[in-house]
Structures are given as structure tokens and as C-alpha cells.
Amino acid sequence: MLVFEEVNRKGDYARSGILHTRVGDVLTPTFMPDGTRGAVKSVSPELVYSTGVQIVLANTYHLHMMPGEDIVSKLGGLHEFTRFSGPILTDSGGFQVFSLKSLRKITEEGVEFKHPITGEIRLITPEKSIQIQLALGSDLTVAFDHLTGLSEKDRGTTKEAFDRTHRWLERCIVEFRRLTSGMSVTERPLLFGVVQGGLDHELRQKSLEIIQNSDVDGTAIGGLSVGETRNEMHDILDFLAPLYNPERPRFLLGVGDPVDVRKAIECGIDMMDCVMPTRNARHATVWSGPDSKRLHLTNAKYLDDDTVIDEVCDCYSCTKGFSKGFLRHQFKVGEPLAGTLASVHNLRHLVRICEEYRTN
Ligand SMILES: [Zn+2]
């Protein structure tokens, strides 16, 4: 099955395209909200899709811990369980290697975690990550990687993590092929390999070459948006832009600020995910206007403001006429509807940016 078709180019590297998955086509560039535990927080699938979102992301680590892939599988798999009918991407759990305090230790075999509730020690290996993702019923899977931060303290481990990520990739590919060998090309989920290498150009280029020469369907760019400056992130995106294989989709992990989404698309990225639009929205922060200005809806100046968040936005919240004064009031009294309406708006804001690059 052809995985990706490039449709049009805009500028040097921005492109629009069609990503083919086993549950339908996706127009790119595309933004994917994080349904970390199987739900996009406070937003129903119907409202998520009303924003133009085509893919949602679910988190392998969290669903493995609770309720467990066996339960999700018994309840019909991710689509039946979450009621998202479109493509679902699962991350590998690699990000939690970096972010969670429940981490015990990293060895060549895999990563030991302490269960946040039971305290039980669990080992996630590259093979286990793929097994969990396939048991969940993922349509787009990601190879297990070793991510490090980018502070001075972490830089010494970048090369070690870089080498381990590529050894783990080979193990992921073997396990993925083993578990999907009985599937037809139209039934098979996709596998993305993850490019690491921190802020080091040489390591990034080498890692990209390794991923692009591997038997995977897509290229994921990991290890960004983990504490580096915006300029440092953009420098890596600029550096990688001319080096991508045109036939494969490119997924930038964990990026969702409008400035970074535009930059990523202009550097040839096709897919992005982040908790930012919905997390910010639940904290009353929304983007508005062509320059994505941040508005803080709890600000006193919105007390009697009868205008919607963005007059030109065609999201549910703006077209239904929910005023900033109404939203401010609901945030102030702790009404969850406010977070829902703001989340719908922020998702639509990012999808509209993606759509600008699809049309011409
Ligand atoms: Zn809106």
C-alpha cells in the first residue's frame, strides 16, 4: 500500500499530501490532539471531529497502566472503546521514559517503571511497546525510543540514547513484522521510526539516514519541545528540512504552539500532536486572529465583552456565539463547559493553520 502521496508544494519545503491508513485517508498537514487516556479531555469525539481534526493520539504508557491493553481489547479495541472512528495514533511510551518520576531504570533490555497506583514494577521493552500498541488496536504505531532532555546535564547522554534508539528500532521492526505478518496490506497498521540526536546536527542527520533506510512507513522527529529554546528547535527543523525522503510522512512529536506549527509545516512536517491546545484551553487561554494572539479569558476586561473569541473562526464555539463575557463567567465559576468550548476553538485554530497550507 502506498502510504503517502505528495499533492502540492508551497515555498521551499511546505507540502500538502494524503496519508493512507487502514481506516481512511488523512489530508496533510494535519494536527492531532492528544487523547492521552483515550479521551480528548472534556471534548466528545463529535466535537473533536467538528474542528476538522482527522487523527487523534492515544498514549500507550497510560493506557497500559490503566485500564490495560487487555481490557481495551476486550472492549473492542481503541475505536470501539474511545468511539473515535477515524485513524488513531499511539505513541511508544518513550516520552514517559523522559518525563515521569515513576521511571526506575533504563537498561539495554528496556525501561522499568513503577506503577503509579499499585507500586508494581513493570518492564517496557521495545517488543512490549509494539505488543501493547497492536493489542490496543492502533492504526499508526511508533517505535520505542530513548529520549533525553536537552539541558547541559542531559547532553552527555544524548549519544548513548541515540545509539540505543537505533538498536531498539531494529527490535521494534522485527516484533512489528512478526505480529502483522498475517495481515493484508489494507489491514496492517503503520510503523513510524523516531529520529533522535538532540541539538547536534551530525547526530540528527545520521539518525534521519538510519530511520529513512529502515523498514518503517514514516519518519517521526522526537526529542524536541523538551526544554530547548524556540530558536534551538527551529534550527533543527531548518536543518532537517532538505534531508527528508519525499515518499514518507513526517511526524513531529509534541509540538502544538501556533508559531511552531507554522514553522514545522514550512520545514516539511506533515503531522504534529500536542496537549497544548486543550490544556491551555482548560486554563482559559485561547488563540485568536491571524497572528494567534493569546487571550486570557479570565481577564477582568472580558467581564461584559459580547464578542466571540475570534470573529473569523468557524468553530462550534465561535459560530454559536458564545461571548468572551460568557466564557469568562463560566471559567470563574468553574463550569467545565468553558474548557470544552475553549478546547474546541483552540483545536479549530490549529486545524485552520494546517488548512492554509493544503489549499494552494
Ligand atoms: Zn472559534
**CATH number of the domain encompassing residue 264:** 3.20.20.105
Could you tell me if 39 and 150 lie in one domain?
Answer: yes
Could you tell me if 70 and 194 lie in one domain?
Answer: yes
Phi, psi (degrees; rounded to nearest 5) at 302: -90, 5
Reply yes or no on whether the pLDDT at 1 is more than 80: no
Question: What is the mean pLDDT of the segment spanning 341-345?
Answer: 98
Could you tell me if 269 and 287 lie in one domain?
Answer: no
pTM above 0.85, yes or no: yes
Could you tell me if 32 and 156 lie in one domain?
Answer: yes
Could you tell me if 189 and 327 lie in one domain?
Answer: no
Which residues on adjacent β-strands are paired with residue 113?
103, 122
pLDDT of 360 reads 58
What one-character DSSP code corresponds to residue 114? E
pLDDT of 150 reads 64
Q: How confident is residue 125, by pLDDT bands cut at 50, 70 and 90?
A: very high
- Torsion sign across C-alpha atoms 228, 234, 239, 240: positive
* Domain end call among 227, 256, 274: 274
Show the cell assigned to 326. 460568557
**Catalytic residue numbers?**
91, 273
Question: What is the mean pLDDT of the segment spanning 67-91?
Answer: 98
Going from the Cα of 347 to the center of ligand 1, the distance in angstroms, rounded, reads 9
pLDDT tens digit sequence for 43-75: 999 999 999 999 999 999 999 999 999 999 999
Give Cβ neighbours of residue 99 (< 8 Å, ≥ 6 apart). Answer: none
Query: Shortest CA distance to 353 belongs to which of 250, 296, 269?
Result: 269
pLDDT of 97 reads 64
Phi, psi (degrees; rounded to nearest 5) at 63: -70, -30
Domain that holds residue 324: 283-360
Going from the Cα of 274 to the center of ligand 1, the distance in angstroms, rounded, reads 18
Reply yes or no on whether the pLDDT at 149 is more than 70: no
Question: What is the mean pLDDT of the segment spanning 128-137?
Answer: 98
pLDDT tens digit sequence for 272-283: 999 999 999 999
Going from the Cα of 175 to the center of ligand 1, the distance in angstroms, rounded, reads 43
- Domains in the chain: how many in total? 2
The count of residues in the chain is 360
Going from the Cα of 276 to the center of ligand 1, the distance in angstroms, rounded, reads 16
Residue with more model confidence, 339 or 197: 339
pLDDT tens digit sequence for 218-266: 999 998 888 889 999 999 999 999 999 999 999 999 999 999 999 999 9
Percent of the chain with pLDDT over 70: 96
- The mean-pLDDT minimum among 17-21, 52-56, 91-95, 171-175 falls in 91-95
Going from the Cα of 340 to the center of ligand 1, the distance in angstroms, rounded, reads 12
Could you tell me if 99 and 38 lie in one domain?
Answer: yes
pLDDT of 241 reads 98
Query: Shortest CA distance to 21 belongs to which of 13, 37, 10, 32?
Result: 32
Could you tell me if 40 and 103 lie in one domain?
Answer: yes
Cβ-contact 328, 322 below 8 angstroms? no
* Domain end call among 249, 274, 299: 274
pLDDT of 94 reads 77
Averaged confidence pLDDT in the chain: 94
Cα 354–37–347 angle (5° rounding)?
20
Could you tell me if 78 and 154 lie in one domain?
Answer: yes
Question: What is the mean pLDDT of the segment spanning 319-331?
Answer: 98
Residue 220 burial class via C-beta count within 10 angstroms: exposed 0-12, middle 13-18, buried 19 and up = buried
Could you tell me if 265 and 311 lie in one domain?
Answer: no
Q: How confident is residue 42, by pLDDT bands cut at 50, 70 and 90?
A: very high
Could you tell me if 205 and 317 lie in one domain?
Answer: no
Going from the Cα of 321 to the center of ligand 1, the distance in angstroms, rounded, reads 9
How many alpha carbons lie under 13 Å from residue 66 in its C-beta half-sphere?
8
Query: Shortest CA distance to 351 belongs to which of 139, 92, 84, 56?
Result: 56
* Domain end call among 274, 309, 341: 274
Between CA 188 and CA 180 the distance in angstroms is 6
Could you tell me if 119 and 247 lie in one domain?
Answer: yes
Cβ-contact 317, 295 below 8 angstroms? no
Going from the Cα of 64 to the center of ligand 1, the distance in angstroms, rounded, reads 34
Q: How confident is residue 151, by pLDDT bands cut at 50, 70 and 90?
A: low
Question: What is the mean pLDDT of the segment spanning 155-178?
Answer: 90
Could you tell me if 125 and 28 lie in one domain?
Answer: yes
Residue with more model confidence, 158 or 131: 131
